């Protein structure tokens, strides 16, 4: 019995890690660089800068246990000390040695080698002794057996515990242990190894003598942090409005602690935003500064950066699908229509932002006092020709009736941006004192420009429109041997102001054909339907009719515009003339 016990003990000793094995990285030697500054874009991308003074290991390297998932080509680490040059950055999957809290029998036995215990097995038999250990097969032995790279292996734990008893060393299967009693309070933690994705920064030290600490940083672009702007517009007397901008931060990226956040109006182009940099070590990969303050951390990061290099990429010939992110889509909040169009870059800086990953935050950004005026806007789209109406089905008829129903004015606030900062595309809550009037969409407005913020339908301003044909001229136009009939028309828009004060109005009437003249000081012009938008753009019914090829050659889209004022209780008639060609 003693010989068998001795053999088991020697076997257990042979299972301990060998000296030739590459040692696991101690968890205590790993460090994290804090986020110092973030530049946040409205589309959910962020330029993140980590910087801090961190300890070095015995080799003079810095080992970081947080690996970002940057956009391809945007990962830039740097040294913050001029005499210590960053020479290489290595991303690798490494074994890390640490401790775990024991939460089961196996863990308690591993945490307390040499402890005196009383075990009760599944048969109710009591066994007393000292814990001799739990056998484990070391990594180098597994590598020799399986031929797998050492970096892909962890020590293989056995299923028995060795117990030193008065009769020898007993190998007891763990599944036969029902309970364990310790003579003294047991230790709560036991050593363990696990894989982590680590980032190792190597430096060229002066005279080859590394220091214990070094100032380092890294900067990259990654999706996961977004800001959503919103406005509150409070209108007051004397034509002044208080405009408040607030930002909702949605953080699914990393913990932020007292960082500087740059909130960017506008969305720059990231050509490879759908590709993940190889340094991320994601599963799919493994299978293969003028807008910043010159003193900011972001500007420093770019001026001192060294691009990391990754070997073994087959000279860049691998398919880009291998670099696409495999992470599930993260909900970064609602999109605001038009938020990416025609916006120049502008940065709002907010200091002292603290926000954990997974949290949301609303914070005030800016406040202005802008001049505004009340304007009542009416847009009358062009109507479909009779041929379209005749061939339309019931659903299409209802849609046309809805769009061409009773016209109405919209009350808008015309804000003049007299500040130095642009207004960005965002929802806007409109209030008067403590009373909410409605919600509209603020559109991008450069300094010195104006924007319209729709308030409500103006029910006190009545509109009637009437068009009539005034004549037909056969053979009025000949093109390529084809003769065309000219149909002349005249329109009248009657507007009655039933409010108790005068109002400023803006009326736009679009027509198919050729605009001839507008009365009452209006303007008649031909416009490009594809560029103008609004009432001029092609309506949904445009595709319901097979337009003849000659239509666009002899006709276009015209528009009549009036900007005028109607006194209280008065009626104003706006007249206009146009024609179109037909054959």
Residue 294 has pLDDT above 70, yes or no: no
Q: Is residue 109 part of a domain?
A: yes
The whole-number pLDDT of residue 207 equals 87
Grade residue 58 by pLDDT with cuts at 50, 70 and 90.
confident
Instruction: For residue 295, count CB atoms less than 10 angstroms from its CB and return exposed for 0-12, middle for 13-18, buried for 19 or more.
Output: exposed
pLDDT tens readout for residues 216-245 = 999 999 999 999 999 999 998 889 999 999
Lowest mean pLDDT among 4-13, 181-190, 247-256, 554-563: 4-13
Q: Is residue 503 part of a domain?
A: yes
Mean pLDDT along residues 557-574: 96
Q: Is residue 504 part of a domain?
A: yes
The DSSP code for 71 is B
Largest CA distance in the chain: 123
Q: How many domains, in total, are found in the chain?
A: 2
Unique residue bearing structure tokens 């300890």: 55
Q: Is residue 8 part of a domain?
A: yes
Q: Percent of the chain scored above 90 by pLDDT?
A: 56
The whole-number pLDDT of residue 273 equals 83
Q: Is residue 406 part of a domain?
A: yes
For residue 531, the surrounding DSSP H or E stretch is helix 529-532
Grade residue 313 by pLDDT with cuts at 50, 70 and 90.
very low
Residue 509 has pLDDT above 90, yes or no: yes
Can you tell me the distance from the alpha carbon of 244 to that of 232, in angstroms, rounded to the nearest whole number? 5
Segment of 140-149, 337-346, 371-380 carrying the highest mean pLDDT: 371-380
Grade residue 66 by pLDDT with cuts at 50, 70 and 90.
confident
pLDDT tens readout for residues 366-389 = 999 999 999 999 999 887 766 666
Exposure of 376 in the CB half-sphere (CA atoms within 13 A):
22
The residues, any chain, with a CB within 8 Å of residue 238's CB and separated by 6 or more, are: none
Grade residue 530 by pLDDT with cuts at 50, 70 and 90.
low
Mean pLDDT along residues 146-158: 72
- Please count the other Cβ atoms lying within 10 Å of the Cβ belonging to residue 1: 9
Q: Is residue 393 part of a domain?
A: yes
Contact status, residue 244 vs residue 369, Cβ threshold 8 Å: no
- Please count the other Cβ atoms lying within 10 Å of the Cβ belonging to residue 290: 6
Residues spanned by the domain of 398: 368-582
User: Final residue of a domain: which of 157, 181, 196?
Assistant: 196
User: Final residue of a domain: which of 196, 224, 253?
Assistant: 196
Q: What is the CATH number of the domain that holds 167?
A: 2.30.30.100
Chain centroid to CA 246: 18
Contact status, residue 421 vs residue 427, Cβ threshold 8 Å: no
Helices (H) and strands (E) in the chain, counts: 9, 30
> What tokens does 322 get?
């291998």
Lowest mean pLDDT among 343-347, 414-418, 525-529: 343-347
Residue 325 has pLDDT above 80, yes or no: no
Can you tell me the distance from the alpha carbon of 551 to that of 310, in angstroms, rounded to the nearest whole number? 60
Mean pLDDT along residues 346-350: 91
Q: Is residue 80 part of a domain?
A: no
Can you tell me the distance from the alpha carbon of 134 to that of 159, in angstroms, rounded to the nearest whole number? 8
Residue 191 has pLDDT above 50, yes or no: yes
Lowest mean pLDDT among 264-268, 382-386, 434-438, 477-481: 382-386
pLDDT tens readout for residues 424-450 = 999 999 999 889 999 999 999 999 999
Exposure of 99 in the CB half-sphere (CA atoms within 13 A):
10
Exposure class string for 394-404: b at 16+ Cβ within 10 A, else e: eebeebbeeeb
* Phi, psi of 529, deg, nearest 5: -65, -25
Of residues 311 and 566, more confidence is placed in 566
Grade residue 319 by pLDDT with cuts at 50, 70 and 90.
very low
The whole-number pLDDT of residue 9 equals 37
Chain centroid to CA 52: 26
Residue 72 has pLDDT above 80, yes or no: yes
Listed residue (266, 279, 256) closest to 37, CA to CA: 256
Grade residue 282 by pLDDT with cuts at 50, 70 and 90.
low
Residue 573 has pLDDT above 50, yes or no: yes
Of residues 310 and 347, more confidence is placed in 347
User: Final residue of a domain: which of 143, 161, 196?
Assistant: 196
Contact status, residue 266 vs residue 254, Cβ threshold 8 Å: no
- Please count the other Cβ atoms lying within 10 Å of the Cβ belonging to residue 522: 20
SS3 state of residue 518: strand
Cα-Cα-Cα-Cα dihedral of 252, 257, 263, 264, to 10°? -70
Chain centroid to CA 77: 23
Q: Percent of the chain scored above 70 by pLDDT?
A: 79
The whole-number pLDDT of residue 85 equals 93
Listed residue (134, 131, 114) closest to 180, CA to CA: 131
Q: Is residue 574 part of a domain?
A: yes
Of residues 399 and 439, more confidence is placed in 439
Residue 526 has pLDDT above 70, yes or no: yes
SS3 state of residue 99: strand
Lowest mean pLDDT among 170-184, 303-317, 532-546: 303-317
Residue 246 has pLDDT above 90, yes or no: yes
Unique residue bearing structure tokens 């406040």: 367
Contact status, residue 411 vs residue 374, Cβ threshold 8 Å: yes
Listed residue (497, 531, 528, 518) closest to 561, CA to CA: 518
């Amino acid at each position: 019995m003693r010989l068998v016990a001795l053999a088991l003990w020697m076997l257990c000793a042979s299972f301990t890690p060998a000296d030739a094995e590459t040692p696991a990285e101690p968890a205590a030697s790993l460090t994290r660089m804090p986020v110092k500054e973030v530049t946040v874009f409205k589309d959910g991308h962020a330029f993140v800068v980590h910087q801090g003074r961190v300890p070095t290991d015995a080799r003079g390297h810095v080992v970081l246990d947080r690996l970002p998932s940057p956009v391809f080509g945007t990962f830039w680490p740097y040294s913050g000390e001029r005499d210590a040059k960053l020479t290489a950055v290595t991303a690798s999957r490494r074994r890390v040695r640490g401790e775990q809290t024991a939460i089961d029998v196996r863990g308690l036995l591993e945490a307390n080698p040499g402890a005196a215990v009383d075990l009760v097995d599944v048969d109710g038999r009591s066994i007393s002794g000292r814990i001799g250990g739990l056998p484990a097969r070391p990594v180098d032995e597994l590598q020799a057996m399986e031929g797998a790279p050492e970096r892909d292996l962890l020590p293989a734990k056995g299923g028995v515990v060795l117990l030193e008893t008065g009769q020898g060393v007993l190998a007891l299967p763990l599944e036969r242990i029902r309970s364990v009693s310790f003579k003294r309070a047991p230790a709560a933690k036991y050593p363990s190894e696990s894989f982590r994705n680590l980032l190792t920064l190597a430096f060229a030290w002066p005279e080859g003598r590394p220091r214990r600490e070094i100032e380092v940083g890294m900067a990259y672009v990654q999706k996961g942090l977004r800001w959503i702007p919103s406005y509150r517009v409070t209108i007051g007397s004397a034509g002044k409005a208080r405009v408040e901008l607030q930002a909702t931060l949605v953080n699914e990226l990393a913990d932020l602690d007292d960082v500087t956040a740059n909130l960017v109006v506008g969305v720059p182009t990231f050509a490879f935003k759908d590709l993940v940099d190889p340094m991320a070590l994601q599963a799919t990969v493994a299978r293969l500064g003028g807008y910043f303050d010159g003193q900011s951390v972001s500007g420093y990061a770019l001026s001192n950066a060294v691009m990391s290099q990754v070997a073994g990429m087959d000279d860049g010939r691998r398919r880009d699908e291998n670099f696409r992110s495999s992470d599930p889509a993260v909900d970064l909040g609602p999109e605001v229509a038009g938020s990416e169009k025609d916006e120049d870059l502008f940065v709002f800086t907010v200091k002292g932002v603290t926000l954990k990953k997974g949290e949301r935050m609303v914070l005030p950004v800016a406040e202005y006092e802008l001049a505004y005026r009340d304007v009542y806007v009416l847009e009358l789209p062009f109507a479909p020709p009779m041929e379209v109406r005749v061939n339309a089905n019931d659903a299409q008829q209802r849609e046309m009736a809805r769009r061409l129903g009773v016209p109405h004015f919209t009350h808008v606030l015309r804000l003049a941006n007299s500040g130095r900062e642009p207004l960005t595309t965002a929802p806007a809550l409109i209030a008067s004192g403590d009373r909410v009037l409605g919600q509209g969409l603020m559109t991008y407005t450069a300094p010195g420009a104006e924007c319209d913020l729709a308030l409500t339908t103006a029910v006190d301003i009545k509109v009637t429109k009437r068009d009539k044909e005034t004549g037909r001229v056969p053979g009025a136009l000949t093109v390529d041997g084809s003769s065309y009939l000219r149909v002349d028309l005249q329109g009248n828009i009657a507007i009655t102001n039933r409010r108790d004060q005068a109002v400023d109005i803006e009326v736009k009437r679009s027509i198919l054909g050729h605009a001839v003249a507008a009365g009452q000081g209006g303007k008649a012009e031909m416009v490009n339907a594809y560029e103008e938008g609004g009432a001029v753009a092609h309506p949904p019914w445009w595709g319901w009719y097979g337009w003849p090829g000659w239509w666009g050659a002899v006709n276009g889209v015209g528009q009549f515009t009036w900007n005028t004022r109607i006194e209280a209780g008065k009626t104003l008639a706006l007249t206009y003339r146009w024609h179109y060609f037909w054959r």
